[in-house]
Amino acid sequence: MSHRAVVLEVKNLKKHFPIKGGVFKTTQGHVKAVNGISFSIKENETFSIVGESGCGKSTAGRTILRLLEPTEGEVWFNGENLYDINKKEFRKRRKDFQLIFQDPYSSLNPRMNVKELLIEPLLTHQMCPKKEAVQRAGEMIEKVGLSKKQLEKYPHEFSGGQRQRISIARALIVHPKLVILDEAVSALDVSVQSQILNLLIDLQEEFNLTYIFISHDLNVVKHLSDRVGVMYLGQMMELAETDELYDYPLHPYTRALLSAIPSLSTTEKKERIILKGDVPDPSNPPSGCPFRLRCPHAHERCVKENPIFQEAKEGHWVACHLYDEQDETII
Amino acid sequence: MTEFIQKLREDKVGLIGLIGVLIVIVLALLAPLIAPYAPDEMHTEQVMHSPSSEFLFGTDEFGRDIFSRIVYGAQVSLQVGLIAVGIGATFGLIFGLLAGFYQGKLDSIIMRIMDIFFAFPDILLALTIIAVLGPSLTNTMVAIGIVFTPVFTRLIRSAVLTVKENEYILNAKAVGVSNIKIILKHITPNVMAPFIVQITLALSGAILTEAALSFLGLGVQPPNPSWGVMLNESRAYMEFAPWMTIFPVAAIIITIFCFNLLGDSLRDLLDPKLRQ
């Protein structure tokens, strides 16, 4: 995997939302939704970001695509920092990055039929004349497993799974390089989920796509991704190749998450780690390590210092004081 | 669309409204064919004649046929209604889309100006505008148009704010669609339902306001046939020739009533929540 070229590099990305309050609507604090995450994604790879709801994973995805303006940080793509490009110019670049949303019921305009939905991205980027666009829409709709006859139908005439296929077709018709799937299958029931996931895998091969897969579903993530990043309270806690992360999780938070996956095995008894308390308020995070209030291994140092996100093993990054001195006897 | 007509057919009250509105439109369009006399034709020997087979609704103090004047008055009412609401709806749509979509400072400026207009009672605001512009048919339409602009602006703005929350707007942005295209292709079609309902209701309001302004002598000027003008002229003779009052009033009431019935049933039909 290491020989693949890096497509996208995120450096110290931050997105803070101001909290306005009082009579004069002054800024009274910040919700630190994304608080300094860094990672890079290789060509044709599926990189997953997992975490509980509210950990900032969707915000991270949207900020990378500049649907939200970043507070700080850099996103390098093809040798240029995306945040340095002006807004007008960036709109033209959007054909390289597409986003697929969670809710197939609200992510398609109910007043546009499938044909209009599919040709809009092509016409927006002036990639071909309308006649050809319609033809390409017909080809694309068949690629995602629907038929050309359905081009004249409106979104409300389709089921959730079919709508998500339409969303996928709309995103892929412009041949993007990077696709961010923001909980793209979470709203679907399990049987449909696997169909859509297989479709995504097939299309990735066919179009040589790079995916950022944002999800809270650890089973789906394991099935789909090459590498996984675990987020907690706006920070990246651990990042490793999928098998490595699932087999040898380092961070106490990752361990707790993985122990929560239900197991069908009766012989192997897993230790279930139950976290105490709730996710802290992101506008008022704890001092030091964001996870320390719920961490079974928290010690004095965790209160004072926020651990640095560093490589503990080759390709396995973690932000935890337990791995600072290379002293693995503590665990 | 066919589904829509089907639904309207089942809605008896809405159907009555629709038929009433259609009758008014037919009267206005075919006035020269339907009216037995010209609206300003005076029958000097039959002044204030009570309703008869010759003069269906009687005659007024100049011997003009009231039925003919009401038929021609429908033209004035519809003309004022359509053009005034057209002005108000167009500006309201533009301001509402801009305010709702861009929010921020632009929104504050537009909405505070609209609030100023809202602070005056409709009729008083219309009177003031006409006092400035001078009484005439055109100015009546302009004045009513201005009075209706804030209503449309506020309605469209709130509809835009709701529509904007949908993920398909963010989706369009992610695809790279320009703001103008997002407004025109993704937002506007989705705010049409409340817009159309408001247009039907505003039509009745405009017709009523025109009648009121004309009654006060600031709208349509005599001898043009307007229901409001006819009411004004009948004031002095109400006791001797009640038909001079009754028929224009009936025309106004029935027209407004039908427009409102139609508006209400359109609201039910176009509201997706009430659809099923």
Cβ distance of A125 and B176 shorter than 8 Å: yes
Q: Is the pLDDT of residue A204 over 80?
A: yes
Is position A1 within any domain? Answer: no
Asked whether residue B108 is domain-assigned, the answer is: yes
> CA-CA distance, B137 to A67, in Å (whole number)?
50
- B243 within domain boundaries: yes
Partner B contacted by A192 (CB < 8 A):
no
Which residue, among B165, B173, B175, would best test binding to A if mutated, counting the most A CBs under 10 Å from its CB?
B175
* Amino acid at residue number A152: E
Helix, strand, coil percentages (3-state) for chain B, rounded to 5, are 80, 0, 20
Per-residue confidence band for B276, with pLDDT thresholds at 50, 70 and 90? very low
Tally of structural domains, chain A: 1
Residue A323 binned pLDDT confidence (cut-offs 50, 70, 90) = confident
Q: Do B168 and A170 touch (CB under 8 A)?
A: no
Angle at B147 between CA B146 and CA B153, to 5 degrees: 80
Q: Is the dihedral of CA B22, B24, B25, B31 positive or negative?
A: positive
Which H or E run contains A170?
helix A160-172
Contacts of A106 in chain B (CB under 8 A): 166-168
A98 vs B181: CB contact, 8 Å cut-off? no
Quick one: which of A317, A307, A308, A290 has its CA closest to A232?
A290
Q: Which residues have CB under 8 Å from B242's CB, separation 6+?
A: none
Please give the pLDDT value at position A3. 65
Q: Are B107 and B158 in contact (CB under 8 A)?
A: no
* Domain of residue A72, residue span: 6-323
Domain residues for the domain of B217 are 12-20+67-275
pLDDT at A331: 45
| Residues B246 and B231: beta-carbon distance below 8 Å | no
* A328 has pLDDT over 70: no
pLDDT reading at B1 higher than 70? no
pLDDT digits (tens, 9 = 90+) for A286-309: 888 888 888 888 888 888 888 888
Residue B2 lies in a domain: no
Contact A91 B174 (CB under 8 A): no
CA A161/CA A167 separation, integer angstroms? 10
User: What DSSP line would sit under A20-67, residue for residue?
Assistant: EETTTTEEEEEEEEEEEEEEEEETT-EEEEE--TTSSHHHHHHHHTTS
Distance of alpha carbon A286 from alpha carbon A302, whole angstroms: 10
A25 near B CB under 8 A: no
**What's the pLDDT score for residue A78?**
84
Q: Is residue A328 in some structural domain? A: no
CA torsion sign for A320, A323, A325, A330 is: positive
- Is B46 within a domain? no
* Token digits of residue A197: 């996931």
Note the pTM of the prediction, 2 decimals.
Answer: 0.82
Q: State the nearest Cα–Cα gap between A169 and chain B, in angstroms.
A: 12
Count CB atoms within 10 A of the CB of residue B242. Answer: 13
Contact A124 B167 (CB under 8 A): no
Q: With contacts defined as CB-CB under 8 Å, which chain A residues touch B190?
A: 109-111
Question: Which of the 8 DSSP states describes residue A325?
Answer: T
For residue A174, list chain B residues with Cβ-Cβ distance below 8 A.
Answer: 175
- Cα–Cα distance, B76 to A72 (Å, whole number): 62
For residue B152 the two structure tokens come to 């449309």
Beta strands in chain A (DSSP E): 6-21, 26-42, 46-50, 72-77, 80-81, 97-100, 178-182, 210-215, 227-232, 235-241, 310-313, 316-318
Tell me if chain A has a CB within 8 Å of the CB of B182: no
Provide the number of structural domains found in chain B: 1
With CB atoms and an 8 Å threshold, state whether B174 touches A125.
no
Domain annotation covers residue A331: no
**Confidence (pLDDT) at B22:** 92
Torsion of CA A124, A126, A130, A131, to 10 degrees: -140
Question: How many beta carbons lie within 10 A of that of residue B268, not counting itself?
Answer: 15
Q: Which range among A69-78, A128-137, A195-204, B261-270 shows the weakest confidence by mean pLDDT?
A: B261-270
Is B168 close to A108, i.e. CB distance below 8 A?
yes
Closest residue on chain B to A65 (Cα):
B174
Q: Given an 8 Å threshold on Cβ–Cβ distance, is A99 in contact with B190? A: no
pLDDT tens for residues B177-236?
999 999 999 999 999 888 988 898 898 888 888 888 888 888 888 778 888 888 888 888
pLDDT at residue B240, as a whole number: 82
CATH code: domain of residue B198: 1.10.3720.10
Say whether residue A164 is in contact with chain B using an 8 A CB cutoff. no
Give pLDDT, residue B267: 80
- Residue B177 maps to a domain: yes
Using CA atoms, how far residue A298 sits from A35, A250, A276, A314, B231, in Å, is: 21, 14, 13, 25, 86
- Does any domain span residue B45? no
pLDDT one-digit tens code per residue, B128-142? 999 899 888 889 899
Please report residues of A whose CB lies closer than 8 A to that of B105: none
Residue A329 lies in a domain: no
- A234-276, pLDDT tens digit by residue? 899 999 999 999 999 999 999 888 888 877 766 666 677 788 7
CA atoms of B181 and A109, how far apart (whole Å) = 13
Looking up residue A250, the CATH number of its domain turns out to be: 3.40.50.300
Residues A62-77 pLDDT 10s: 999 999 989 999 999 8
Give the pLDDT mean for A228-236. Answer: 92
The answer for residues whose C-beta is within 8 angstroms of residue B36's C-beta and 6 or more apart is: B56, B65, B67, B68
Whose CA is closest to A171, among A144, A191, A190? A144
Number of cross-chain residue pairs from A and B with Cβ atoms under 8 Å apart = 64
Q: Which residues of B touch A110 (CB under 8 A)?
A: 168, 190
Report pLDDT digits (tens) over A75-125. 998 888 989 988 888 988 898 999 999 888 889 998 899 999 999 999 999
Interface touch A109/B167, C-beta < 8 Å = no
Helix or strand run (H / E) with residue B22? helix B12-29
| pLDDT, position A329 | 47
Q: Is residue A232 part of a domain?
A: yes
pLDDT tens across B84-125, in order? 999 999 999 999 999 999 988 999 999 999 999 989 888 889
| A232-254: b (≥16 Cβ within 10 Å) or e | bbbbbbbbbbbebbbeebbbbbb
Region A15-25: mean pLDDT is 84
For residue A197, tell me if it sits in a domain. Answer: yes
Burial A64-99, CB ≥16 within 10 A → b, else e = bbbbbebbebebbbeeeebbeeeeeebbebbbbbbb
pLDDT at A199: 92
What are the tens digits of pLDDT across the range A159-197? 989 999 999 999 999 999 999 999 888 888 888 888 899
Where b means 16+ CB within 10 Å and e means fewer, A170-181 reads: bbbbbebbbbbb
Judged by a CB distance cut-off of 8 A, whether residue A175 touches chain B is no
**For B190, nearest residue in chain A (alpha carbons):** A111
Inside any domain, residue A25: yes
Query: A121–B175: do the CB atoms touch at under 8 Å?
Result: yes
The closest CB to that of A101, out of B167, B178, B190, belongs to B167
